[in-house]
Structure 1
């Protein structure tokens, strides 16, 4: 029987090898590992070692080696299927029963893995040929060593459009598979497929298990984007993986920090300098899914990856965007720190010019998330009046409300309030400089406690904002309170659209029946869990479970919630009639149908929220005919007009 690879990955991830082995052998702690006399040959001195972070056992006496499934097979004298079924029970997973269609899909996926691996070997080999000399010279100029070329499997994509296609067809692969895997591309007008990457240095991208699934290519000459990355395909989703992820997991297990850089060469340079936990996103800004993956790399209690950004204005804007994505997912003992490099340098430059000590100094100066959060609001604000200071405090409070975990949120709120008290007290005291006219102390950045502020060149606050500068962003599945607006016309809004009870039931039931939705709707689910509603307890439990383990299936999630005491509420929540309307996707719906239903219900809630905001804005304008209120009304109108609910049924209002 064949099991889906994703199921086996999840099984291994849920089980701790030392727990399974420890039920059969008496293990002794040996540093970060465990040891015992080998059960597979007679010995008196322990030579059998178990390494949880790397997920394997090894005997230095007889050479026995394997993972948790292999150990149970060998120790308990079981077949592969029997061992998987036994361990699935211990992990709380339901063993999937693959149908013929699923088996065909698994076999096709295996074929695609083989094809991408064959393409990777082809690129590696071409780097050593005369045609790849220019690529090899480029790598050498950048300080890449021969060992690193081999370790990271760097290669060269020839300029010839058809040579890879010919090679793959001769090897036995089909053109259709090569196109689906993203290594070939069909011309728009028809004809034979040609190489997607041409005349580029190639950086293979590996999945969590170390299998090559995609490539990043740097151009060497001519026109085109500097870096080109594989498109999403059945093996690869660029928003979910990180470059060097499989090696970083092992490094984090050995106690080394996880460091997030911006590019492939940065990662290679950091690893060369001894920072083996380095990773990078794949041509995009850091996504929420990648942030959750970062925390999974490190053992519990050490989940504090360091996000490295350039020291210029663009780097700081990228840092602020990352902080916005991180905030909703903070839980106890799970955060990030932010490090800024010297302006004009990236990790590759710094390591090559100043060495590992300079990079270590940057990492040692990494700042807590709370410091960066303060700077996000403080960098361009004036604090000359009580109204200014009240606005600053309200903006910080709005940020803190994004944190879903109530305990973490409370600690952030306490720290922010303490900083505000100290900052404003220093402003009023004679030793604090005496007011806005002394040394520019009318700026928020001048009043802070704790570490020194970011060196940001802040623009002067404007006294007014034109409507052209206040064009609302289109709704993209996020509550409007997250859409940045100019400080002068900031609209105070609730944390999320109010959900009618039946809509809340539908959204929560969709997440229970289709947990795979969570990666795409996590931000909305976090906001729903923070609202005061009938199902708040279940919301918070679901978000907590899927945040820590986004691969949970519906049965495992349901069992987990029952164990927490929600069985009665779940029966009521999932009762009859919930999915009677054809717009509501039931438990048998496809992932695409479930996502469409989610977007549909959420959009209706958001539209009602905006309509209420519009009424408030009209009333405010009637009371005070000011420019700020005019802009507020125009802004809400623009957002409401731009919102598409996804429903054209006149007899359906989302209830």
Structure 2
């Protein structure tokens, strides 16, 4: 049995055990044992984060998916990982803990209904992203290319980067949306190479700079578990993959190294990507500041737990990120 096959079988057994735990228990009931849980939407609940100090609840809980995500510190995972981290125990002990915790039973019919509603919301979000992508045009000759050139990126824009005009925001409850604005859009695809979301960088002055708005970078669709792939068509034969946080860094690395690079749109997202079976080693290209180094240290542990070997790359001393290094801009 090859190393990749053995790892794939081990990962499949691991995922099955986790999925069974998600079906059997509500993550909100686990969290409620130590902190107050409040409702924050149709299928969402919130609580004070278990992993950093805060006064306002920012840890989002989804019982339909059995997951948590903190918008304050970016801690995220599933019900088993939550028990492992909060109880400081291993996987098998976490499964035993769940079995002995006397948690309320979950009505399978209610779980199925919530899962169906959640999947419906997910598909509508993906369809919205797909509609924007279908109307987008190739980046060459557009403000998207102007923006890339302004960031020192002179390689031909990959087919995963386009230009579009897209609403700045959407409100699902009212059906309203913001004004159409020009944006560089990057395709975020899952393990089956299916589009599940977009990363948008809103632009101003014909692409010479990012738009003057609170958050010029905004995702659309459901990006968790997906990545913006750069140079994958040319280099998708090796067993090693470079991953990094943002589009500019990913394009900078692809240009300088001529390598396959996946942009995960957040360091904390790296363990949730559906990597190809051929991948044995993951190179984490981190950001060179205190927060970036702490995030990389944390995510490296998780990737190792998933069976990958890892290496870490940092920008040269004095540069915060890879695009700053490309442009020679020191902090």
Q: TM-score, normalised by structure 1?
A: 0.27
More strand by share: 2
TM-score (norm 2): 0.49
Greater helix content: 1
Give the number of the structure whose alpha-carbon radius of gyration is greater.
Answer: 1
State the structure with bigger RCO (CA 8 A, min sep 6), 1 or 2: 2
